[in-house]
Structure 1
Amino acid sequence: MVDGRRLAGVDGCRAGWISWSRDQTASVPVLRIHSRFADLIGDLGPGAIVAVDMPIGLPDRITGPGRGPEQAIRPFLGARQSSVFSIPARAAVEAPSYAEACERALETSDPPKKVSKQAFNLFPRILEIDAALQADEDLKSRVLECHPEFSFCRLNDGVPMSKPKKIKGAVNPEGIDERIALLERHGLDRSLFASGAPSGASMDDVVDAAVNLLMAERHAAGLTMPFPASPARDRHGIPIAILG
């Protein structure tokens, strides 16, 4: 790790983006919320490595159930597979309405498939990151897609979490506690989570950003790999891979 370079784990939240970050000289991570992804990147400073729970890289066509990364990680997750949404092709993500997104998705997928409402709600966040990476070539190697449930699985010796983070849309305390225990095993003190979630976020956002911080640190140490192993790039040269 380069001295002073910040490492961050990021997740989307109601208020925008939530991040845990720290650098080589600071042992205690800092929790922050930003309304815009560009502001988060600016605050982290030059050279930061960012692991974010949001799809990155948009192919022009989808073959099978989602992008290559989504297909690559699902087999590892067992009962947690449903947390991996299928993201459609770029034309669908860039569409201005749900109806048009479904039309574009049908045209650019094999087999033809419309867009789920859950995936559609992510599109503005996906496009925030996409715009940042198109505008700054250097970010393409430093802003990395993670999927928290896959991150937890990788840190748990390949075993998926046994309890869901949410049940019927409500945070599940047992699922959160299971994940905090794993984060503690990997060096994040339990006291970091004692205050609960800040305004504009929930506890699942807090623990997801935390596990992605650990993945960013593992990546900086050369301990991660992309899924799939040989990632494609989209038309803007953005890698299409999930870090694991």
Structure 2
Amino acid sequence: MVLGVDACKKGWIGVSGDLRGYFGRTIDLVVAAAEQDGVLEVVGIDIPVGMPATGVRQADVLARRMVGRRASSVFSTPVRDAVAAATYAEALEVSQRLTGKGVSRQAYALAQRILEVDAWAPTAGCPVIEVHPELCFATMAGHPLEHPKSTWAGIEARKRLLASVGLPMPADVGAAGEYGAVDDVLDAAAVAWTAARYAEGKAVAYPDPPEVLGEGVTAAIWV
């Protein structure tokens, strides 16, 4: 069993490879909910796994290039000290000092999520991989998607792509459907697709091999 996880407003949702849906207010709780239905082989998650100490991760650079017009959906992962900063102003100062560049408000808004996953991942009982849904959908389609996921056309295109790879989204996806927005659920399903590819030895890492960030930390976005 594999699980794709995405953040939602109230916590985290998960979608399994067989399209069962889960919810948890914390990452460990959504994983624990899924584990009640079976042993997890892989957890894929749409959040940075591995923060740089300085500079920009190659994973982010490569993923942004691969998704074309959807590049704005791939933000640069802030350096660890910026993620740990107490305020956005502090994060901005730290990032400027360590990288010569600022940090977007979108990236800093995810700081607590990034730290939550950073603390949890080493304790997981299976591999935890970083996955970006837009890269998944671009790979399924063979090209970057035209419409953003916030539009009707974008939602329909993503549903068709999931169906084309054997994941036709059902009307009922359990707790994931109760707590997650439409795009959250579709993103989690796309992440589950890559988690299954990883379990089968078919997934590709960007970069390949994963970048070594120091102190045993590596980073790659898988698809």
| TM-score normalised by the chain length of structure 1 | 0.83
- Number of equivalenced pairs: 220
Distance, in Å, in 2 between the alignment partners of 1:93 and 1:201 is 25
Query: Which residue identity does 2:180 align to in structure 1?
Result: A
Query: Which residue identity does 1:206 align to in structure 2?
Result: V
User: Post-superposition shift, 1:201?
Assistant: 2.0
Bigger fraction of residues in helix: 2
Q: 1:205 aligns with which of 177, 184, 203?
A: 184
3-state secondary structure, aligned to 1:18: strand
Distance, in Å, in 2 between the alignment partners of 1:210 and 1:74 is 20
How big is the alpha-carbon RMSD for the aligned residues of Structure 1 and Structure 2?
Answer: 2.1
Distance, in Å, in 2 between the alignment partners of 1:57 and 1:17 is 19
User: Post-superposition shift, 1:190?
Assistant: 3.8
3-state secondary structure, aligned to 2:177: coil
Q: What is aligned with 1:58?
A: 51
Where does structure 1 lack aligned partners over 5 or more consecutive residues?
1-5, 23-27, 167-171
Deviations 1:53-111 (A, max 9, x none): 1011011101xxx32101112222111111111112111111111111111111110xx
Query: Which residue identity does 1:107 align to in structure 2?
Result: R
| Structure 1 residues 30 and 191, CA gap change in structure 2 (3 angstroms) | closer
Q: 2:12 aligns with which of 12, 17, 21?
A: 17
Among all aligned residue pairs of Structure 1 and Structure 2, give the percentage whose two residues are the same amino acid. Answer: 35
Q: 1:177 aligns with which of 145, 156, 181?
A: 156
| TM-score normalised by the chain length of structure 2 | 0.91
Work out whether residues 57 and 233 of structure 1, in 8 Å CA contact, stay in contact via their aligned partners in 2: no
Query: Which residue identity does 1:165 align to in structure 2?
Result: K
User: Post-superposition shift, 1:235?
Assistant: 4.2
Of 182-191 and 233-242, more deviation after overlay is shown by: 233-242
Relative contact order (alpha carbons < 8 A, sep ≥ 6): 1 or 2 greater?
2
Work out whether residues 19 and 173 of structure 2, in 8 Å CA contact, stay in contact via their aligned partners in 1: no
3-state secondary structure, aligned to 2:49: coil
Q: What is aligned with 1:48?
A: 41
Q: What is aligned with 1:107?
A: 97
3-state secondary structure, aligned to 2:77: coil
Query: Which residue identity does 2:21 align to in structure 1?
Result: L
User: Post-superposition shift, 1:35?
Assistant: 0.5
Q: What is aligned with 2:170?
A: 191
Deviations 1:129-170 (A, max 9, x none): 100124x2765xx1100110001111222x11111112xxxx
